[in-house]
Amino acid sequence: MVDTKVPFEVPEQMREFADRSIDQARKAFDHFMDATETAVSSMEGASNPMQVDSAGMHRQALTFAEQNVNSAFELAQRMFQAQNMEELVGLQTEYLHKQMELSGAQVREMGEKASQAVNEVAKKAGEFQ
């Protein structure tokens, strides 16, 4: 059996390199999200009223994606600071539990938004008749 409390050596230069790489990836993702939000906003302005109802869902999906990716970046940074295998496994386990809870909440929220959007479309369709 492997002793998970045995420290493993990761050179400080490697930790610093990994930390900088994660920061650069996070910044690139932030720029991507900014561009995506700008594109979504411009499309919303050109949408017809029936499509506008789904704009909230699109925005919420982007928010969830951003939260999930940021959580992964945080995990990566914490994993590079781990001192032993036990801590590394603990971080991964904690992350998985949090992500499962978060995913459930996100699915419920998107379901509620989808239901609201359908109700709004049905109400508007009734007004047009």
Per-residue pLDDT 10s for the chain (129 aa) are 556 565 667 678 877 888 888 888 888 888 888 887 777 776 665 555 455 556 777 888 889 999 999 999 999 989 988 888 899 999 999 999 999 999 999 999 988 888 887 888 778 777 766
Domain extent listing, the chain: 53-129
**Amino acid identity, position 48:** N
Q: What is the pLDDT of residue 71?
A: 92
Rounded Cα gap, residues 102 and 68, in angstroms: 9
Non-local (6+) Cβ contacts of 121 within 8 A are 50, 53
Q: What is the pLDDT of residue 51?
A: 58
Non-local (6+) Cβ contacts of 109 within 8 A are 60
Q: What is the pLDDT of residue 4?
A: 57
Q: What is the pLDDT of residue 60?
A: 86
Q: What is the pLDDT of residue 100?
A: 94
Q: What is the pLDDT of residue 107?
A: 92
